[in-house]
Amino acid sequence: MSSASTSRANIPLEDSIPEAGASLESVLCTEELRGRPARPPNYEKENRALVVLMSALADSPSTIFQTLAETILDITQCDSAGLSLLTRDGKTPDGCGKRFYWPAIAGMWNPHVGGGTPRNFGPCGDVLDQNRTLLFRHFERRYPYLMPVIPAAEECLLVPFYVAGKAVGTIWGIMHSDRRKFDAEDDRVMASLGKFASSAYQALIHIEDLTFQVSEREKAEADVRELARGLEAKIRRLVEANVVGIVMWNLEGAITGGNEAFLRMVQYDREDLASGRVRWTDLTPAEWRGHDQRAVADLQATGIFQPFEKEYFRKDGNRVPVLLGGALFEKGGNEGVAFVLDLSEQKRAEDALRRSERRWQTAFENSAIGMMMRDCSDRFIASNSVFQNMLGYTESELSQLSNEDVTYQGDRRTNLELIRELLEGRRQHFQIEKRYRRKDGTLLWARNNVALIPGIADAAPFLFAVVEDITQRKQEESARHYSEERHRVVVETASDAVISLDESSAILLANPATTRIFGYDPAELIGKPLTMLMPEFLRKLHEAGFKRYLATGQRHINWQGTELIGLRKNGQEFPVEVSFGELSKDGHRVFTGFIRDISERKQAEEMRKQAQKAIQTMQAELARVSRLTTMGELAASIAHEVNQPLTAVNNNSNACLRLLANQNLQPDVLRRALEEIVADGTRASAIIARIRALIKKAPAEKNSLDVNEVIGEVLAMMGHGFEENRILLQSELAEALPPVLGDRVQLQQVLLNLIMNGVEAMTAIIDRPRLLWVQSRIDESGDVLIAVRDSGTGLGLEADRVFTPFFTTKANGMGMGLSISRSLIEGHGGRLWAAPNSPHGAVFSFTLPIAAGTPS
Amino acid sequence: MTRAPVVFVVDDDPSVRSSLKFLLSSVGLQVESFESAETFLQRKAPDAPSCLVLDVRLRGLSGLDFQRELAAREIRIPIVFVTGHGDIPMSVRAMKAGAIEFLTKPYRDQDLLDAVRIALERDRTRREQEKDLTDLQQRFDSLTPREQEVISKVVSGMLNKQIAGELGTAENTVKVHRSRAMEKMNAQSLADLVRMIEKLKGPAEKAS
């Protein structure tokens, strides 16, 4: 239950019945009252006391209980007297209380004021239970909690009193000693005082109520006054603050008062106002009068008019836009007050905003780039014509579509992801390159910059996107990418080494061919200087040349192909052909080198040179031999060759003759000499025979020959001879000529002789083309026929005379060539003859029988 | 004392070599044969009159080039050219370069022998001259410096007295030097001496 609370006397008031204690009967001695001799009543005192009580009740009701307690003490001449009142809170009387409290005590127990006893276990409770006066003797024997209340009560007389038939408390007197005992008189007096106590109780309660009511009302009135004062102050504050215009008016149109703010607004002064010249009906322009009338109607109906916008005329005639709202002071009255807000600024701001909006609108519409807005559910809110044209949709069509609808399938996921991030606040904006599907189904590449515009007030957030058509750029990119790819493939698959260098001549990249050619992995080369691929002696040259190029732009080698030496990883040096290119990339100079391993080419060149040399040697040899056959050298050669043995024969013979003349006969010597003579003679014969053989019938070697091949060899030997003599050579060689049996060199000699003759025949010709024509075919008799035509001076009348030995038309000639040639051909079983060529020149033809055994 | 003359034959044809050797030896000449100019050059120069019978056509160094080479080496051996063939320019060149003769094979044996003889004679003469000169030089070198000095002044036409004055000695001393020098030089007369000294001075002096 409730916690114990202590009174000033430290008496605990317990709600629960304690366990110990004497019985009630043992502490009561009420019946003894009648038996005790009664004092003689002192009615005068009693009356006087009652009067005092009454006065006290009237004058000072709050102290009535104390007065009563003292009266009891005085009249009964006891030691302590007081009241017990039922209470709930221990301080105020309450008839429904569960406790008693002592609001007033006189006498020795005075210090215990405020204390009390429980209703259900105490003397006062007993009195109320039994509804009669009770006399206790040492009631602390029953109620141990009263033990501490000292001095102890020898006897206590308690009398109940009632309000509206209900007991509300007791009055009591206490003897602390047995000097006197309570008697019947005390009983009577107490009863009468008890009645007074009832009245006092009621009066007091009533007075308290009244007092409370009055004080309440007074308080309320004070509050209202306070409020009014405060309100007034505030209103005055507002008015004087001039943050808004305040104007007082009447319904007739007069303005009865206004603050500075108002006056400034309309540019009138106090005097104007005071004079009554300023009337709100006059201040209002004609077109706003309707509003005013409506406001007046509202005022009359409701006592207030809602804020509305209108304009006033200023004193200078200009207009000022205002917002005003107000009320009548009294409903149904004539006067009221209104606030007036100057809207000029606001109007200006509104105009500015409108202008700004218009600008944005114009920009939006006339932009060269697509712009659009969509709401957070991706629908198009707005778009400019550029965007609409990009996609091929009209604005209304777009408003039915979402961004996703028009986005190419493959790009949707990325796009949605980014939008989600945007909406979730993980980013402020994003950029995306994506494809749209136009209305006609084609695709368009676009670069979008999308931002989330946060919502303001009740405007929802939306997405704003700037859309750039990059289809062209994408195509170019893809083309360039493709081109780059092609180039990359070219470089990768090139059979030449392709190396990229930076400005310090360090290797940036090397293609696979580099590995094949140099033997290094690209990884071994990256970052290394180019010079590691060249032999030592070339490095300084390269470094110097490269440096000079960087500084001056001068090249020290031909960049379009220079032969240099390369150095392989295994140390081998080999010939290379190098080309360089330069390009600038991101502001840096990058050089590309193409390096071709030309070892094989060099070898081939070498072989060709050697072949050339061999041919030249052969040429020289053949020329020498041919000179032999044209007799220039042959004669000398014959002479020399034959002269040797002849000289020896002569020497030996003459020596022998001399010895014989000197009688110096040594048969051995002579014999030896003669033997030598014979030998030399034989040698001479052999030489002559050989020469004859060379010239005459039997060929030295007989092989199966392809005539066309021989012709080809002879023409090759002529080399630049035709060009040098400005002779046009034509050859008409039959295919699939059957082979002939013959001596290759001899046939070459004959052909060379005929061709040289033809060339020499044309040296003097200047007025017509110099044509030399070589033909090979099968003639009618099945032999192989070769003809050499020229457009030279011709044969004259003696066609066959040319074959006579020593016949020559050449200034330097010996005239042996053709006769020898004829002999050689006849030695092969063929014929050689000459005929005039038309219109100019001569034709020399010879035949050769085909090799036996060859099917004809 | 001159040795027996030697004929050197250079020809790349063996039968020509041997037959030539035979021919020349048939007239009592010493012959040495070589197949090429190079092999000849390896042989030391003999201390006897000699000449060279040379074919123009040789393997390796040709005859004419060989002639030039010998001149460059200052080997003054006379050359008789023989050739199996030849033309005028070649022969002219050879002769201008100092060949004794230029014969074409087959030649008359007598022509060859004559040419050889002339060549040997020339060589002999040259050698003699050289020898003389060498002797002369030796004789001169055997003079004392003073004697040499005196001689040179005598030869220039100075009187003994004059010479004595120049050298700062007595005339008698000069006379003694002079006579001793003349003895050593084996000059019979002043004219002799002059001739001798002229010879010693040589062609260089004469040219200047």
Chains A, B: CB contacts under 8 A, how many?
77
The H or E element spanning position A476 is helix A471-493
For A74-92, how does the pLDDT look when each residue is reduced to its tens digit (9 = 90+)?
888 899 999 998 888 887 8
Interchain pair A641, B84: CB under 8 A: yes
Q: What is the DSSP string of A318-381?
A: -EEEEEEEEEESSTT-SEEEEEEEE-HHHHHHHHHHHHHHHHHHHHHHH-SSEEEEEETTSBEE
The tens digit of pLDDT for each residue in B14-69 reads 888 998 998 998 888 999 999 888 888 888 777 888 999 988 877 777 778 888 88
Q: What is the dihedral of CA A146, A149, A153, A158, to 10 degrees?
A: -60
- Contact between A826 and A743 under an 8 Å Cβ cutoff? The reply is no
In chain B, pLDDT over 70 holds for what percent of residues? 94
Give the per-residue pLDDT at A809.
61
Give the residue from chain A lying closest to B25, CA to CA. Answer: A655
Can you tell me the mean pLDDT for A717-734? 83
B152-161 pLDDT, tens digit each? 888 888 888 8
Distance from CA of A680 to the nearest CA of B (A): 7
Cβ distance B105 to A655 less than 8 Å, yes or no, reads no
Instruction: Supply φ then ψ for residue B128, to 5 degrees.
Output: -60, -45
**DSSP E strands, chain B:** 6-10, 30-34, 50-55, 79-83, 101-104
Average pLDDT, chain B: 84
Mean pLDDT value of segment A477-495: 83
Model pLDDT for residues A367-426, shown as the tens digit of each residue: 888 898 888 888 898 888 889 999 999 988 888 888 888 898 888 998 889 988 888 888
Q: What is the widest separation between alpha-carbon atoms in chain A?
A: 241
Residue A684 touches chain B, beta carbons under 8 Å: no
Q: What is the mean pLDDT of residues A754-775?
A: 87
Distance CA A810, CA B203 (A): 53
For residue A526, the 8-state DSSP code is T
d(CA A160, CA A189): 13
Distance between CA atoms of residues A533 and A58, nearest Å: 134
Segment holding B88, helix H or strand E: helix B88-96
Q: Could you tell me which chain A residue has the CA closest to the CA of B106?
A: A647
Q: Do B25 and A655 touch (CB under 8 A)?
A: yes
Q: Is B59 on the interface with A (CB under 8 A)?
A: no
Hey, is A769 helix, strand or coil?
A: coil
SS3 content of chain A, % helix, strand, coil (to 5): 45, 25, 30
Task: Give the mean model confidence (pLDDT) for residues B99-126.
Answer: 88
Q: What are residue A710's phi and psi, to 5 degrees? A: -65, -45
pLDDT at A4: 44
Residue pLDDT, tens place only, A531-553? 999 998 888 888 888 888 888 87
Contact: A640, B84; criterion CB under 8 Å: yes
Q: What is the pLDDT of residues A450-460, one digit of tens each?
A: 998 887 777 88
Cβ neighbours of A636 in B, within 8 Å: 85
Best mutation site among A644, A658, A659 for testing chain B: the one with the most B CBs within 10 Å?
A: A644
pLDDT number for residue A856: 45
Where does the pLDDT of residue A814 fall: very low under 50, low under 70, confident under 90, or very high at 90 and above? very low
CB contact under 8 A, A673 and B22: yes
Mean per-residue pLDDT over chain A, rounded: 83
Say yes or no: B143 contacts chain A, CB-CB below 8 A: no
pLDDT for position A424 = 87
The token pair that represents A484 in the structure block? 């780059």
Q: pLDDT at residue A2 above 60?
A: no
Mean pLDDT on A145-158:
89
Beta carbons of A647 and B105 less than 8 Å apart: yes
* Residue range A470-487: mean pLDDT, rounded: 84
Residue A429 CA neighbour count, 13 Å, CB half: 11
B window 81-140, beta carbon within 8 A of A = 82, 84-85, 104-107, 109-110, 112
Asked if the model's pLDDT at residue A7 lies above 50, the reply is no
Going by pLDDT thresholds of 50, 70 and 90, the confidence category of residue A693 is low
A631: pLDDT confidence band, cut at 50, 70 and 90?
Answer: low
Confidence of residue B120 (pLDDT cuts 50, 70, 90): very high
- Of A3, A173, A12, A10, give the one whose Cα is nearest residue A80: A173
A236 by Cβ neighbours in 10 Å (0-12 / 13-18 / 19+) ranks as exposed
- For residue A564, give the amino acid letter: L
pLDDT tops 50 at residue A228: yes
Confidence category of residue A5, pLDDT binned at 50, 70, 90: very low
**Tokens found for residue A215:** 């004080």
pLDDT(A782) > 60? yes
DSSP line for A715-743 = HHHHTTHHHHTT-EEEEEE-TTPPPEEE-
- pLDDT of the residue at A6: 45
Q: A656 at the B interface (CB within 8 A)?
A: yes
Indicate whether A49 pLDDT > 50: yes
ipTM above 0.90, yes or no: no
Among chain B residues, CA nearest to A677: B19
Q: Strand A497-501 and strand A507-510: pairing?
A: antiparallel
Q: What is the pLDDT of residues A428-444, one digit of tens each?
A: 888 999 999 999 989 99
Record the pTM. Answer: 0.33
Q: How confident is the model at residue B119 (pLDDT cuts 50, 70, 90)?
A: very high
Percent of chain A with pLDDT over 70: 90
The reply to whether A670 touches chain B by the CB within 8 Å rule is: no
Q: How far apart are the first and last CA of chain B?
A: 33
Summarize the confidence of residues B70-78 as an average pLDDT. Answer: 86
The pLDDT of residue A175: 92
Chain A residues whose CB is inside 8 A of the B22 CB are 651-652, 655, 673, 676
| B42 contacts B73 by C-beta, under 8 angstroms | no
Find the closest chain A residue to B110 by CA distance.
Answer: A654
Query: What confidence category does residue B105 fall into, taking pLDDT thresholds of 50, 70 and 90?
Result: confident
End-to-end Cα distance, chain A: 154
Nearest chain A residue (CA) to B29 = A655
Distance (Å, whole) CA A166 – CA A661 = 217
Judging by DSSP bridges, how do beta strands A588-597 and B6-10 pair with one another? unpaired
Helices (H), A113-183: 123-130
Residue scoring higher pLDDT (A278 or A336): A336
Cβ separation of B106 and A645 shorter than 8 Å?
Answer: no
Question: Is residue A318 pLDDT above 60, yes or no?
Answer: yes
Is the model's pLDDT at A789 over the cut of 70?
yes
